[in-house]
Amino acid sequence: MSTHDAGSASGPPASRSPEYRVAHLKDRLASGELGELGVRVEVRGGNVLVTGTVPSARYREEVLDLVREELAGLEVHCDIVVSEPSSPDHAEELS
Protein backbone atom coordinates (compact mmCIF):
# COMPACT_ATOMS: atom_id res chain seq x y z
CA MET A 1 0.00 0.00 0.00
CA SER A 2 1.35 3.43 -0.88
CA THR A 3 1.44 6.44 1.38
CA HIS A 4 -0.25 9.70 0.49
CA ASP A 5 0.65 13.22 1.49
CA ALA A 6 -2.97 13.87 2.53
CA GLY A 7 -2.37 12.76 6.10
CA SER A 8 -0.08 11.12 8.58
CA ALA A 9 0.29 7.39 9.19
CA SER A 10 -2.59 7.56 11.66
CA GLY A 11 -4.94 9.03 9.05
CA PRO A 12 -6.02 12.41 7.76
CA PRO A 13 -6.46 15.31 10.16
CA ALA A 14 -9.84 15.32 11.87
CA SER A 15 -10.23 19.00 10.94
CA ARG A 16 -11.11 18.04 7.36
CA SER A 17 -14.83 17.66 6.70
CA PRO A 18 -16.33 14.17 6.49
CA GLU A 19 -17.38 14.93 2.90
CA TYR A 20 -13.79 15.79 1.94
CA ARG A 21 -12.47 12.64 3.59
CA VAL A 22 -15.14 10.47 1.91
CA ALA A 23 -14.28 12.02 -1.48
CA HIS A 24 -10.61 11.19 -0.89
CA LEU A 25 -11.53 7.61 0.07
CA LYS A 26 -13.64 7.27 -3.10
CA ASP A 27 -10.66 8.45 -5.17
CA ARG A 28 -8.42 5.85 -3.55
CA LEU A 29 -11.01 3.10 -4.05
CA ALA A 30 -11.43 4.07 -7.71
CA SER A 31 -7.71 3.76 -8.42
CA GLY A 32 -5.99 0.42 -8.83
CA GLU A 33 -7.62 -2.97 -8.68
CA LEU A 34 -10.21 -1.86 -6.12
CA GLY A 35 -11.74 0.44 -8.74
CA GLU A 36 -13.87 -2.29 -10.28
CA LEU A 37 -15.57 -3.18 -7.01
CA GLY A 38 -19.14 -2.16 -6.30
CA VAL A 39 -18.36 -0.31 -3.07
CA ARG A 40 -20.37 2.81 -2.20
CA VAL A 41 -19.46 5.38 0.45
CA GLU A 42 -22.02 7.95 1.65
CA VAL A 43 -22.20 10.55 4.39
CA ARG A 44 -25.52 10.30 6.21
CA GLY A 45 -25.93 12.83 8.97
CA GLY A 46 -22.82 12.58 11.10
CA ASN A 47 -22.14 8.98 10.04
CA VAL A 48 -20.50 7.34 7.04
CA LEU A 49 -22.09 4.30 5.40
CA VAL A 50 -19.89 1.92 3.38
CA THR A 51 -21.80 -0.73 1.41
CA GLY A 52 -21.24 -3.09 -1.48
CA THR A 53 -20.20 -6.52 -2.63
CA VAL A 54 -16.62 -7.67 -3.17
CA PRO A 55 -15.36 -10.91 -4.74
CA SER A 56 -13.24 -12.15 -1.83
CA ALA A 57 -12.38 -11.71 1.83
CA ARG A 58 -8.99 -10.29 0.77
CA TYR A 59 -10.66 -7.43 -1.12
CA ARG A 60 -13.00 -6.81 1.83
CA GLU A 61 -10.00 -6.45 4.14
CA GLU A 62 -8.27 -4.10 1.69
CA VAL A 63 -11.38 -1.90 1.55
CA LEU A 64 -11.72 -1.93 5.34
CA ASP A 65 -8.04 -0.99 5.74
CA LEU A 66 -8.54 2.03 3.47
CA VAL A 67 -11.72 2.99 5.34
CA ARG A 68 -9.92 2.83 8.69
CA GLU A 69 -7.02 4.88 7.34
CA GLU A 70 -9.05 7.60 5.62
CA LEU A 71 -11.99 7.88 8.04
CA ALA A 72 -10.28 7.45 11.42
CA GLY A 73 -12.28 9.20 14.13
CA LEU A 74 -15.57 9.20 12.22
CA GLU A 75 -18.58 7.00 13.00
CA VAL A 76 -18.49 4.43 10.16
CA HIS A 77 -20.95 1.63 9.46
CA CYS A 78 -19.69 -1.03 7.04
CA ASP A 79 -21.91 -3.50 5.25
CA ILE A 80 -19.57 -5.10 2.74
CA VAL A 81 -20.62 -8.55 1.54
CA VAL A 82 -18.24 -11.17 0.14
CA SER A 83 -19.64 -12.92 -2.93
CA GLU A 84 -16.84 -15.46 -3.20
CA PRO A 85 -18.34 -18.56 -4.74
CA SER A 86 -17.42 -21.76 -3.03
CA SER A 87 -17.11 -25.14 -4.65
CA PRO A 88 -19.99 -27.52 -3.97
CA ASP A 89 -19.22 -30.12 -1.35
CA HIS A 90 -21.41 -32.75 -3.04
CA ALA A 91 -22.82 -33.63 -6.46
CA GLU A 92 -26.14 -32.13 -7.39
CA GLU A 93 -28.76 -34.76 -8.19
CA LEU A 94 -31.04 -34.00 -11.10
CA SER A 95 -34.30 -35.85 -11.58
Secondary structure in 3-state letters for 65-94: HHHHHHCCCCEEEEEEEECCCCCCCCCCCC
Cα–Cα distance measured from residue 42 to residue 66, given in angstroms and rounded to the nearest whole number: 15
Q: pTM of the full predicted structure?
A: 0.69
CB atoms within 10 A of CB 85: 7
Q: Kindly report, residue by residue over 8-48, the tens digit of the pLDDT.
A: 444 445 568 899 999 999 999 888 677 777 899 999 988 99
Query: Which of these CATH numbers, 3.10.310.50, 3.60.15.10, 3.30.1340.30, 3.90.1150.10, describes 18-82?
Result: 3.30.1340.30
Quote the pLDDT of residue 70: 93
Determine the Cα–Cα distance for residues 6 and 85; give it in Å rounded to an integer: 37
**Least confident range of 28-32, 52-56, 71-75:** 28-32
Q: What count of residues does the chain have?
A: 95
Residue 87's pLDDT band, with cuts at 50, 70 and 90, is low
User: What residue segments make up the domains of the chain, in order of their start?
Assistant: 18-82
Distance CA(88)–CA(81), nearest Å, equals 20
